[in-house]
Amino acid sequence: FTLAFLGEVAPELVTKLAKVGEGVAVANKPLKISLTGWDLIPSVAEARVLAIKTKADDNFLKIQSDLTAAGRGLGLNGVSAKPPHLTLARLKSPMPVPDFDFPNLQLTITEFSLIESTLTTAGPNYKALKHFLLTTGRKKEKYRPNVSICLINKNNEVFLIERAGSPGHWQLPQGGIDEGEKVEPAARRELNEESGIKSVKLLQIGGFKFKYKFPYAHPGYNNDYIGQEQTPVYFQFLGSDGEIKLNLREASGYQWVALNDLVNTVFPVRQEYTKLVYDELKKILKLHD
């Protein structure tokens, strides 16, 4: 059964596709497929493939949708998905539908694979690059504890960093909370690690937490996290820009932005969360006037 055709894939994307498969597999249960009858593709009169018709459950369609969406997200233009069928033979000329009854069978699919197809003069060669075991589904969705830092200067401008390796991707500094670590120390540590900044005064720990899921290719899946739960922490900057020493592995640039420009300056995927931070920050600033 083919879940998705990926088209031409550059060698450097194969590892990313494997991570996509891992993420999809760990997030989905085994799927059910019923074999319902014979099929000649594309038609009886012009048949070139003898196949078995199938009926897939909703989980098949979900996995198929997840894989095709992730493939397009990686920039693969040849991604497509077809209704599931089981190919038995490729035909040189049309043939009639087999005249014996087909038993209605149901299969449980517990694994799918990333297959490389190479066309040769003798026909296509197929090679399995990676196998993915479908689990029984997550017993509990785990979100990684995370802090984001909203740092304001004496002009009530907000500190943003440009994500390393992603030009134009502006965001609030952020990072994971280590096991046993409290929110404020984690925020101070992350801010210092990314920007070198230490001279700050705590204004407030945010009154909300924001959950979001990782894309399937995100390495967080390897640690069994499906996303992050972010807590904002608000600081007043007490130093000068001379204190700022960016960690270039984390950030390629920084800027101070006016509060009213904050939401529109951050990268689009960050705007929903940043709007919540913006609303809370306005209330905090009124308290500290």
Asked whether the predicted pLDDT for residue 219 surpasses 80, the reply is: no
Six token digits for residue 245: 């020493």
Structural domain contains residue 3: no
pLDDT-above-90 percentage for the chain: 41
Predicted confidence at residue 139, as pLDDT, reads: 46
Mean pLDDT of 20-24: 81
Same domain for 186 and 280?
yes
The predicted-structure confidence for 149-162, as pLDDT tens digits, reads as follows 999 999 999 999 99
Asked whether the predicted pLDDT for residue 193 surpasses 80, the reply is: yes
Asked whether the predicted pLDDT for residue 180 surpasses 80, the reply is: yes
Same domain for 154 and 274?
yes
Structural domain contains residue 1: no
Q: Which amino acid type is present at position 117?
A: S
DSSP H stretches of helix in the chain: 14-26, 58-73, 183-195, 262-265, 271-287
Q: Among 133, 151, 172, which residue terminates a domain?
A: 133
CB within 8 Å of 60: residues ≥ 6 apart: 3, 31, 32, 33, 84, 109
Predicted confidence at residue 239, as pLDDT, reads: 94
Predicted confidence at residue 137, as pLDDT, reads: 53
C-alpha to C-alpha distance for 39 and 268, rounded to whole angstroms: 46
Six token digits for residue 219: 């390495």
Mean pLDDT of 88-109: 74
Tell me the pLDDT band of 3, cut-offs 50, 70 and 90. Answer: confident
Write down how long the chain is.
Answer: 289
Nearest Cα neighbor of 17 from 64, 59, 71, 65 is 71
Paired strand residues for 129: none
Contact 10, 116 (CB under 8 A): no
CB within 8 Å of 20: residues ≥ 6 apart: 67, 70, 71, 74, 216, 217
pLDDT-above-70 percentage for the chain: 91
Same domain for 31 and 122?
yes
Mean pLDDT of 132-149: 77
Same domain for 161 and 93?
no
Q: Which amino acid type is present at position 38?
A: W
Q: Among 133, 168, 201, which residue terminates a domain?
A: 133
Contact 236, 152 (CB under 8 A): yes
CATH number at residue 124: 3.90.1140.10
Same domain for 149 and 97?
no
Same domain for 187 and 87?
no
Same domain for 153 and 246?
yes
Six token digits for residue 155: 């002009």
**Helical (H) or strand (E) element with 114:** strand 111-120
Q: Among 133, 163, 185, which residue terminates a domain?
A: 133
| Intra-chain end-to-end CA distance of the chain, in Å | 64
As for how many domains the chain has, the answer is 2
The predicted-structure confidence for 221-234, as pLDDT tens digits, reads as follows 556 677 899 999 99
Structural domain contains residue 138: no
Same domain for 184 and 86?
no
Same domain for 150 and 276?
yes
Structural domain contains residue 255: yes
Contact 196, 244 (CB under 8 A): yes
Q: What is the DSSP letter of 5?
A: B
pTM: 0.57
Tell me the pLDDT band of 54, cut-offs 50, 70 and 90. Answer: confident
Same domain for 67 and 91?
yes
Mean pLDDT of 142-171: 94
Which single residue is written with the structure tokens 């913006």? 278
CB within 8 Å of 222: residues ≥ 6 apart: 22
Listed ranges 67-71, 94-98, 102-106, 134-138; the one with the highest mean pLDDT: 67-71
Structural domain contains residue 4: no
Asked whether the predicted pLDDT for residue 217 surpasses 70, the reply is: no
61 is in which domain, residue-wise? 11-133
Structural domain contains residue 27: yes
CATH number at residue 170: 3.90.79.10
Same domain for 113 and 153?
no
Same domain for 207 and 189?
yes
Residue 44: other Cβ atoms inside 10 A: 12
Six token digits for residue 69: 């969406």
Q: What is the DSSP letter of 93?
A: S
C-alpha to C-alpha distance for 288 and 278, rounded to whole angstroms: 15
Contact 16, 93 (CB under 8 A): no
